[in-house]
A = this chain, B = another copy of it.
Amino acid sequence: MASQIEQQVMRRLGSAEIRYTKGRRLLVQALLEADGPRSAGDLYRELKEEVPLSSIYRSLNTLSGLGILVPHHGPGGNNRFELSDWLMGHHHHLICKSCGTVDDIRLPGQTESIIEGLVGSATADKGFKASDHSFEIYGTCGDCLAEGRNEGL
């Protein structure tokens, strides 16, 4: 009963002769259930510390190398990872400056076209070959607003 996405992951791993072990399976499943990027520490806790941190870091790196995961660099000094766009669909992030939570958001196709256009015009004369973009919105999330944790922002 592996999900469709998991089967794509297995195929990608198989074609690179890399094994889909128990630890890697748990990790991919945890990221499938997540609604935003997760750090090694987050995953360690979410997997109830059954998978050692060093293995999590190693898997995170091999899966990123294969393009299955992508790192997300945010505040807080720890890297967060999520399943790549080709598995989960293209999306952007809503980042709370107060609690650090990162949520996924999807924009209408029309809006994405506008962004693609901006990427093109911004790099047109720079000799820079764009391959990707990130559009992230910072602010205060609903929970923090309710708790009054948005002082000084």
Chain A residues within 8 Å of B, Cβ to Cβ: 71, 73-75, 77, 79, 92, 94, 96-97, 103, 105, 107, 111, 114-115, 118-119, 121-123, 126-142, 145, 150, 153
In the complex, what residues of B have CB within 8 A of residue A73's CB?
Answer: 73-75
A119 touches B137 (CB 8 A): yes
**Contact A129 B133, CB 8 Å, known A92-B122, A114-B118:** no
CA distance A130 to B145 in the complex (A): 11
Q: Which 3 pairs of residues, A with B, have the shortest CB-CB distance? A: A127-B142, A130-B139, A132-B138
Beta-carbon contact of A130 and B137 below 8 Å: yes
A128 vs B150: C-alpha distance in the bound complex, in angstroms?
11
A138 to B128, CA, bound (A): 9
- Docked-complex contact B129 and A139, CB < 8 angstroms: yes
Chain B residues with Cβ below 8 Å from A132 are: 97, 137-139
